[in-house]
Amino acid sequence: MSFKYERIDKNKAMLLVVDHQEGLFQISRDQNATVMKQNILAHSELAKIFQLPTILTTSAEQGPNGPLPVEVTSMHPQAPFIKRQGEVNAWDNPEFKAAVEAIAATGRTQIILGGITTDVCTAFLALSLREAGFSVFANSDASGTFDAKTASEANDRMRAAGVQVLSLFAISCELMRDWRNTPGTPEMLPFFDKYLPEYGFLARAHDASVRNGVQSGLGL
């Protein structure tokens, strides 16, 4: 079996923020809420760091679903922002579809997306994008739904359509590729410190050790 590894390319990618709304956030319970919030912000900030064209969309935001967090909208003041009045699947909204196609026309046919809920707004759109021929990369960490079983089954459905389901860390590293690139260490270490404190505190502790640490005495 031959295989072609299509990596995310920062020059060929766009990023979609799909219904990361403050009301919908509350029905998203497959991840801890603190983690989910950080993942939503990280998803959006990735686009900013890598200067990826970005589209924001919401579903019926005057109603219970609520608005996007101000942290997200303020990161992308110039991005197309399509407020759907009824379409569950954003691809059914002509304005949204046109916005995606406009960016695609510039050669960006890889689409990174995350949204709430994983099984509906994210999956429906991802499947439509696959049908339309796009390469689709679902940010698993930045998508949320009722429970872990629903998330897993939605991811399986997307995988069956050829969607790549990746972690936030994997998307970030495929975009960066080399710590010596730009964006690279100076941009991405603070990003990881903010959103993946496992890595951030590793770096912090390392720096402190270099600065004025003393040997532990373990002697290995």
Residue positions annotated with a catalytic role: 121
Residue in 73, 97, 169, 183 binding its own copies, rule: CB under 8 A? 169
Q: Using the minimum distance from each CB to its own copies, give the nearer residue, 53 or 84.
A: 84
Rule CB under 8 A: which of 124-143 touch its own copies? 124, 127-128, 130-131, 133, 140-141
Least Å from the CB of residue 99 to its own copies: 19
For 214, half-sphere exposure in the C-beta direction (CA atoms, 13 angstrom radius) is: 1
Cα–Cα dist 38/125, whole Å: 23
Q: Using the minimum distance from each CB to its own copies, give the nearer residue, 15 or 25.
A: 25
Amino acid making up residue 129? L
Cβ(55)–Cβ(96) below 8 Å: yes
Q: Using the minimum distance from each CB to its own copies, give the nearer residue, 11 or 85.
A: 85
- Note whether 44 binds its own copies by CB under 8 A: no
Q: Would you state the structure tokens that stand for residue 164, as one six-digit string?
A: 């790549």
- Note whether 9 binds its own copies by CB under 8 A: no
| Alpha carbon separation from 35 to 141, 179, 182, 204 (Å, rounded) | 9, 25, 27, 20
Rule CB under 8 A: which of 84-103 touch its own copies? 85-89, 92
